[in-house]
Amino acid sequence: MLLSLVVLLTVFLSVANTSAAPVAEDLVAELVAPLSSSQEGHRVGRVHVCTGTDWSGRCKYLVHPLDSCNSLDRKFKRNLGSFGPDSCTLCFAYETAHCSFGDGFFWMFQAPGNATGGIGVPNNAWNTRIASYKCWPSPDCLGHRTEEAAVGE
């Protein structure tokens, strides 16, 4: 099952990277919010979001099952300036509310994330556009402990 997910993601990413849809670029680690005591023990599948750029404004640490669509609540929907998946987590964020590509845009995020809101990149600002997201284990980190596995322990 995991191997087929990796193959699917690899094929999908090769198509997504050549499509017309913008993809968020990873930024250097110093743009990621500092680790707080409530965030210790990062595991695959967690995402840190903030309404402002540079990890400012209202922030929340989201934990959802992997490979499931997560619609943002009204505080964060179309109101994100920072999006940071934990290590070994690959997330796609969507302009649509139900994680569908449709005619909407999508962005890809991996650790350390992006704290710019996409502002400054022509036609790629995502700070007022992300409505949902979906995450998977990153193919380059197979074998790492997932949030779902930790919950069952």
**Which residues lie across from 145 on neighbouring strands?**
none
Residue 145 scores a pLDDT above 90: no
Residue 13 scores a pLDDT above 70: no
> Mean pLDDT for the chain?
74
- What pTM value is reported for the model? 0.67
63 is written with which tokens?
Answer: 């934990």
CB atoms within 10 A of CB 43: 18
106 is in which domain, residue-wise? 2-151
CATH number at residue 110: 2.60.20.10
Q: How many angstroms separate the CA atoms of 47 and 43, rounded?
A: 10
Number of domains in the chain: 1
CB contact set of 62 (below 8 Å; sequence gap of 6+): 46, 47, 48, 49, 70
What was the pLDDT predicted at 44?
74
At 46-105, the pLDDT tens digits run 999 999 999 999 999 999 899 999 999 999 999 999 999 999 999 999 999 899 887 678
Hey, what's the torsion of the CAs at 19, 24, 25, 27, to 10 degrees?
A: -170
